A and B are shown apart, each in its own frame.
Chain A
Amino acid sequence: MSLSFSRAQHTCSTTRKLWQFPWGYPEAALFVASIILVGFMLQLTVGHFDIAILHYPANLIALAILAGLIALGTRFQNSLFMHWIAGIPVAITLTVALLLFGLYMELTPQLPRMPTQTPDLVSRLGFRMITASWPFVFLYTMTLIALGITTLKRLLRFSRRDITFLCNHLGLWVLLASAGFGAADMMRVVMHVGAGETEWRVFNQNEEALELPVAITLKKFTLEEYPPNLTIIDRQAPPAPQPDSKPQPKNKQEFFQIDPKRPKGRIGDWAITLDEYLHTAVRVGGEYRASPMPESTPAAKITVQNLLTGEIKTGWVSAGGNTPDLFFSDLSLDERYSFAMTQPEPRRYASDITIIPKEGESFDAILEVNKPVSVGDWMIYQYGYETALGKLSHWSEMELVYDPWLLPAKIGMFLMAAGSLLLAWNGAGRRRTNQ
């Protein structure tokens, strides 16, 4: 039915005048352009859109108003105006406008928060923080309205054949609404906890404390590392903060990943054989011995052979342990070049913690990257540690994220996932029979 409507409009568009019903693309373009224009004018007069004004319960009220508008629009769905609002030309024009804003955002640097200085015109128009600019917010809201009316119309005369359409559009609407209005209530803070200590406050730049509804005790911080890489460095290169900052060959640095499963490799003209590898070792005389001491470092005994001259050398190479600029190598190739080891990269790091919510039972958890823990509407993430000390770090940082709108966002995503599966399964599907 909507299809025949849009066809009709297509044929009419050659004879009808602008703003004469039924409306189509020209009206949609002018309409969207004027929304953007009004947005820019507002931006120039009142500055950025401050999402804080939508803080609960304002966002709930705004959402209710929006839903009311959509319901009202659907009530008059047979008017030509509502046909147009819930039609393809408006949908496409809005999509293209959002696409262009996204493209601008992609191609130019964006600021994380409002600049405090009196800014230049580009900033004042909101171009350095697109997602907080009035034109963008208007476009987003208008998309919610148009998408809402489109979806509700079909939902009201539900048909099994529309299931793909409904999953995608309703899901997108729910997701956009929860992400947009939920942004006002989102809170992200980083908490710094020393080993053996309990913390429930976070501090801002002015050292002001904010008390959170959870306290965290850090029982232990652990870190595991990958075996490091070997490389060839130029010892005559200007002193650098890291010994591996001048790896050779110069034009394309090469590394040999230590892996006892694959002991042979090559860098430049040198063939490498890994004879022995100790992940935690200390130097005793000219040798390395395995040792679990805190100050231990990775060490590797290697044999290298120059593929051009046939020269063979053997020796120990180690990483500098906790002092990155201190590395040791018995394996000088000549006056200038020698083998060196890079700092090992972390494989896994985790905080062994006790979480003590203000209300409810406290519990233990292991916090790891990619494995957050949730407490009510809060999620707790492993964030950082003292990188210079690595596994010896005596504190851990956790990010706490508050998002009470996560559940509806997840429902939206779930609906969209169902819609995507249906699309992937059916292709353009039933549209074919429609043509």
Chain B
Amino acid sequence: MSLSWNEFPCIALPAMLCWLSAGLLACRRPRSARSVYVVDALTITGIALSAVFIAAFWNALSRPPLRTMGETRLWYALFMILAGYITYRRWNYPWLLLLSAIVATVFTAINVLKPEIHSVALMPALQSFLFIPHVIIYIIAYAFFGVATLAAGVLFFRRRSGNGNDNGLLTFVDDLVHVGFGFLALGLLLGAVWAKEAWGHYWSWDPKETLAFITGAAYLVYIHLRHQGRKDNFVLWTLLVAFLLLLLCWFGTALLPRSSLHLYS
């Protein structure tokens, strides 16, 4: 089966509906056993729909859809909702499912409204078995950091409204940041191995590499601050700054003054 951006809305709209209704249903009180099942069914249907689209789109392009911003948004939406769903199931934070459903919906909606039409050609430098793991692992890291930022935001506002100091939530944020950092470092290392194969050196302070370094350093500040036992709002703010740097890393390369080896489209 092969699908293109032309067919995308027919799949994206039901997927977004599934995610959003699952998120809303999960947050509704009181919760019945049946509604829990419905939440699962809806989320999984939405996830399956977007996964099927990616697979069929990949097939149509005869190359992995990882090259343009539009294509990476597809993956981000998928991993965002996956990360949200897994953490919802594991730690039982229903609001997290809703928030990640909203983020995934926003990313999908951008693709519906403004798909990017482009060629199927994949230039030689991108033809490597490291291409897919490098980009996908980064996107998974971004998804975890995205969820961590959302959770930190909720914690911040709970604290402001004097709604108890939820240490469980902070520990949960720690978990997300550590997992995210693990993926970020893996993506970076795979990138380094690939850079050695393609460009001759594993690190050349290319703008994208520099940004990845900056992002990683910012999350290290959080990790080490927390290791010291700090719990105040300052650590939450470092998380926000780190996420802003991450966004810059993701979207900013094209806007920045230095030209990058990473610009391919």
Interface positions of A (Cβ within 8 A of B): 3, 6-7, 10, 88, 91-92, 95-96, 98-99, 102-103, 105-110, 131, 168, 179, 186, 188, 226, 229, 254-255, 257, 259, 262, 345-349, 368-372, 379, 381, 399, 401, 403, 406, 409, 413, 416-417, 419-429, 431-432, 435
Contact = CB atoms under 8 A, between A and B. Distances in A.
B258 A88 contact: no
A423 B200 contact: no
A435 B229 contact: yes
Contact of B182 (A91, A379, A423): A423
Interface in B151-185: 167, 171, 174-179, 181-183, 185
A431 B182 contact: no
Contacts of B194: 370
B182 A425 contact: yes
A134 to B, nearest CB: 17
Interface stretch (B36-44, B96-104, B208-216): B208-216
A259 B120 contact: yes
Contacts of A257: 119-121
A102 B182 contact: no
B217 A416 contact: no
For the complex, would chain B's binding face be called helix, strand, loop or mixed by DSSP majority?
helix
B124 A370 contact: yes
A88 B227 contact: yes
Given A371-B197, A413-B193, A432-B174, 19 more contacts: A6-B228, A88-B228, A99-B221, A107-B257, A110-B258, A131-B205, A226-B120, A257-B120, A370-B127, A409-B202, A413-B189, A413-B202, A416-B189, A420-B182, A421-B182, A423-B182, A427-B178, A428-B175, A428-B177
A416 B171 contact: no
B217 A98 contact: yes
Contacts, number: 149
Given A102-B214, A424-B179, A431 B174 contact: yes
Contact of A7 (B175, B183, B213, B229): B229
Contacts of A381: 200
B247 to A, nearest CB: 14
Interface of B: 60, 117, 119-121, 123-125, 127-128, 167, 171, 174-179, 181-183, 185-186, 189, 192-194, 196-198, 200-203, 205, 207, 210-211, 213-214, 217-218, 220-221, 224-229, 256-258
28 contacts: A3-B227, A6-B228, A88-B228, A92-B224, A96-B221, A98-B217, A103-B214, A105-B210, A106-B207, A110-B258, A131-B205, A179-B202, A188-B201, A254-B117, A257-B120, A257-B121, A370-B197, A399-B200, A403-B201, A413-B192, A420-B181, A421-B182, A425-B182, A427-B174, A427-B178, A428-B178, A428-B226, A435-B229
Nearest to B131: A370
A428 B218 CA distance: 17
B60 to A, nearest CB: 8
B246 to A, nearest CB: 13
Nearest to B124: A369
A95 B224 contact: yes
A229 B258 CA distance: 29
A250 B23 CA distance: 43
Contact of A186 (B192, B201, B218, B224): B201
B172 to A, nearest CB: 9
B186 A421 contact: yes
A425 B182 CA distance: 8
Instruction: Name the residue among A96, A349, A399 with the largest chain B CB count within 10 angstroms.
Output: A96
Nearest to A428: B174
B227 A424 contact: no
A106 B167 CA distance: 36
Contact of B171 (A188, A226, A401, A428): A428
Contacts of A420: 181-183, 185-186, 189
Contact of A370 (B128, B217, B226): B128
B257 to A, nearest CB: 6
A306 to B, nearest CB: 20
B169 to A, nearest CB: 13
A3 B228 CA distance: 6
Contact of B205 (A110, A368, A370, A401): A110
B155 to A, nearest CB: 15
B224 A424 contact: no
A106 to B, nearest CB: 5
Contact of B127 (A348, A399, A419, A429): A348
A61 to B, nearest CB: 24
A188 B204 CA distance: 12
A213 B207 CA distance: 33
Contacts of B200: 188, 372, 379, 381, 399, 401
A109 B258 contact: yes
Contacts of A91: 224
Nearest to B171: A432
10 smallest CB-CB distances across A and B, nearest first, come from A424-B182, A423-B182, A427-B175, A428-B174, A369-B124, A420-B185, A99-B217, A226-B121, A401-B200, A420-B182
Contacts of A409: 202
A257 to B, nearest CB: 5
Contact of B203 (A179, A226, A370, A422): A179
Nearest to B120: A257
A316 B169 CA distance: 66
B146 to A, nearest CB: 16
A180 to B, nearest CB: 10
A427 B128 contact: no
A55 to B, nearest CB: 17
Contacts of A168: 185
A406 B193 CA distance: 11
A340 B170 CA distance: 60
A255 B179 contact: no
Contacts of A379: 196, 200
